[in-house]
Structure formats: structure tokens, C-alpha cells
Structure 1
């Protein structure tokens, strides 16, 4: 069962403000009871702060996962469909810079490139190298004679 610590803190504060003593018309505050509820409110308020931090961390984690997926798809598409070596180099440098920053997306790119009908092993090679390999493969399998 999950506890809403902020609501519990407010409930205890409300109870503390209505703790009355034995005086005429029950007006003086009962210090012992008020102290108990104030302590309980303080505990729940402290725990409520932790709940907010966990919620923030969870939101940041989700945002980072979404961002990582978007960037990985962008770089995978760029590496897959680059028409020249300069264009390919731009996407490759982006992947390398992310790797240097501790945000390696190489495995993500390798998983995504088959969605584009491409071989993940070849995406890291510049287009001129891929074309030369393809031409050599075609020449080996289909001799000109």
C-alpha cells in the first residue's frame, strides 16, 4: 500500500492545531498531544520530500530513455542512408562524441539498423568503402565472361 506522505503530514498538522486542554471552554492547547502530532507531521513531511525526489528521478530516467531512443534512431538513419563520406562522418562523429560523454548508443544503433533493411556491421563503414565492397562482391559472384 502506498502512502501519500504529504497528505499524512497535513492531516497530522490539522490534528495538532485542534488539540485542546482541560481549561475553560477547552481552549488551551494540550502540549503533549500537539507535540506528538507535530512530530508525526514532521516525519511524513520529510518522507514526502523523498517521494518527490523519487518521482523527479523517475521522470528524468524516462526522459533520458526517450531522448536516447530518438538520438539512436537519428544516428542509425544517418549512418544507413548517408550518400557521401562527409555526411556519414557527421553521424559517426556524433556517435563518437556521445560515447566520449558516457552515452554510448552503438548497441542501440546496431539493433535499429535492421529496421531500415541494412546490415549493422556495415553501417560504421563510410559509403565509399561499402560501395567498393559491394562492387567486389558483385564481381566475384558474377564474372564478366
Structure 2
């Protein structure tokens, strides 16, 4: 059976990403610069066909490069997300729900349920949403 293998530095980086470490945390643990970590992430994304950290981790589990089962995404309740702020920022940018859902890789119906507070928002998705529309979640009350 063929088992995919990554070089040690790439394996370490992917495992650290899967653990939720930031670029700076990974750099400190690996004793390299944050720019080196960013370069490794770019190479990982290319090798795995991933578009971001979350998809790299998901693909890593699917390929067996990461051990164990794919963990559930941590979620926050919709009432903990500044929905009005996010939706207003999206509208101010002239992005429709279908456009933002496409950029997030989710269906418009899925997004609609969350924008109206009817379902939970996975943390990784809401952070990506905020990044796209320019909302700093850390500065929200």
C-alpha cells in the first residue's frame, strides 16, 4: 500500500497547523523565522492542492498524512458572532450572499441559515468571512 509522506519539516508544520498553532507559534517551536513557516505553508498548499489552513488539514487527514480521525470544527454560537456587523460589511462591499458563499466554499442556503442566526458558525468559516469583509473580530464587543 502506498502511503503519502511529507518531509519532516512539512509534516511538523502541518501537524502544528492541525493543532491550531499560529504562524509565530510554529516558528518558535521549529526554531525558524515566521517567513520560513509561511514558505512551508505555501509549499504545503501547493503539494496538497489546498487553498488555506483548514483545507490543508482536511486533506492531510484524508490522505493519511495526519493520524486519527478528522476532528470536528470548533463552533461558536451564532449569537456570539457579530452577525449584523458581518452582513453589513458584506453588503457595503457589494457582495451578495451567493458571492460570499462561493468564496467561503459553502452553499448560499448554508450561509443564509447562519447569517440569520439559525445555525452555528464554525470558527474557521466565520474568521474567513470576517477577513474577506474586513471585520476585525478581536475588536468586537
TM-score for both structures, normalised by structure 2: 0.28
Higher RCO (Cα < 8 Å, 6 or more apart): 2
Which structure: greater helix fraction?
1
Pick the structure with greater CA Rg: 1
